[in-house]
Amino acid sequence: MIQKKKKELTPEEAFSRLASYCAYAEHSAQEVRKKCRGWEISDEVCDALIERLEQEGYLNEERFARAFVRDKYRFNGWGPLRLQAELRRHRIPSRLIDAAIEELEEEEMQGEDQLTALLERKYHSLPAGLEPRKVYDRLTRFALYRGYPYEDVREAISELLSDLPDELGDN
């Protein structure tokens, strides 16, 4: 198999590509570093590029944290614990993580409401005839993986399962 030799990027070409990358969607400095590594750009040059991207407004970790939290909460149904863990993986500072999650909670995070909706959807996707303990275990694992605190999960599942006999009786 013939491999093409990769053309080395000049710092200016790399900046142009990274600026387009960051203009398209919010990204963390960690994601930009990964992109630089893929292009075999040295760490020193990459750090300089990141600094320039930040100065010119293409890269902003606070903006990234807020967008990440909002999108993953809305579209993936992630809870606060999962959001914190994923932002830590992106090496976002704790103060920015806390601020982004707090902002979301103030704006719209009625955690129990989203959690209840997630659990109801999951419950209806489970095979019929499962033992109650297995239903409880599966729902618990599902919600904990999504990043909801155990106490909230336990309460929401108890409420959901206590409402079920009424639902079943109406059929």
pLDDT in tens, 149-165: 999 999 999 998 887 65
User: Is 81 within 8 Å of 149 (Cβ atoms)?
Assistant: yes
Tokens representing residue 100 in the block: 């982004």
Q: Residue 106 — pLDDT band, cuts 50, 70, 90? A: confident
User: Is 92 within 8 Å of 162 (Cβ atoms)?
Assistant: no
Distance separating the N- and C-terminal Cα atoms of the chain: 64
Predicted TM-score (pTM) of this structure:
0.77
Is a pLDDT exceeding 90 seen at residue 68? yes
Share of the chain above pLDDT 90, in %: 70
- Look-up: residue for tokens 């409420």? 159
Q: Residue 129 — pLDDT band, cuts 50, 70, 90? A: confident
State the pLDDT at residue 74.
87
User: What average pLDDT is seen over the chain?
Assistant: 88
Widest pairwise Cα distance in the chain: 70
Lowest mean pLDDT among 6-15, 60-69, 76-85, 120-129: 6-15
Helix (H) / strand (E) containing 157: helix 150-170
User: Is 73 within 8 Å of 101 (Cβ atoms)?
Assistant: no
Angle between helices 61-76 and 94-107 (to 10 degrees): 50
Tokens representing residue 21 in the block: 């990358």
In 10 A of CB 122, how many CB atoms?
18
Is a pLDDT exceeding 70 seen at residue 110? no
User: Mean pLDDT over residues 27-53, rounded?
Assistant: 95
State the pLDDT at residue 167.
42
